[in-house]
Amino acid sequence: MAESYKHIFIKGNVNREKYKAPSSMGGQPRIPVRDRESQSQKLLRQFDAIWQTKAQLQQQREAEQIATREGTYISFTSAADHDLITKSLEDLRKGIRLLNIKEIPVGENQTQIRATVYVPNGKEGHFISKIKKYQQEETAKGEPKNASLVNSIEDVSIALLEGLWTDNLQLIPADNSKWCEVWLNVNTKENLEQEQIAQFLTTLETIGIEVKHNSIIFPERAVLLINANRQNLIELMLQSDLLAEFRAGQEPAGFWVNESSKEQQNWVEDLLQRIEIVDSNIKICLLDSGEIMDISCWSP
Residues 188 and 226 in one domain: yes
Q: Is residue 15 part of a domain?
A: no
Q: Is 222 exposed, middle or buried (0-12, 13-18, 19+ CB in 10 A)?
A: buried
Q: Is residue 89 part of a domain?
A: yes
This prediction has a pTM of 0.75
CA-derived radius of gyration, the chain:
26
Counting the structural domains of the chain, the total is 3
Residues 236 and 122 in one domain: no
Q: Write down the pLDDT at residue 233.
A: 98
Residues 264 and 233 in one domain: no
Cα separations (Å) of 81 from 31, 46, 89, 142, 146? 9, 22, 19, 27, 21
Sheet arrangement for strand 97-106: 97-106, 110-119, 72-77, 155-158
Of 159, 181, 207, which residue is a domain's last?
159
Q: Write down the pLDDT at residue 14.
A: 66
Residues 214 and 237 in one domain: yes
Q: Is residue 216 part of a domain?
A: yes
Query: How many angstroms separate the CA atoms of 299 and 281, rounded?
Result: 4
> Contact, 186 vs 222, CB < 8 A?
yes
Domain boundaries, position 53: 36-159
Q: Is residue 14 part of a domain?
A: no
Of 128, 159, 190, which residue is a domain's last?
159
Helix (H, G, I), strand (E, B) or coil at 131: helix
Residues 141 and 200 in one domain: no
Query: How many angstroms separate the CA atoms of 252 and 249, rounded?
Result: 9
CA 61 to chain centre: 27
Tell which residue, 18, 130, 23, 120, has the closest CA to residue 73: 120
Q: Following CA atoms 235, 239, 241, 245 in sequence, which dihedral angle do they give, to the nearest 10 degrees?
A: -10
Residues 60 and 146 in one domain: yes
* pLDDT single digits (tens) 71-124: 999 999 999 999 999 999 999 999 999 999 999 998 888 999 999 999 999 999
> Contact, 205 vs 199, CB < 8 A?
no
* pLDDT single digits (tens) 203-253: 999 999 999 988 999 999 999 999 999 999 999 999 999 999 999 997 655
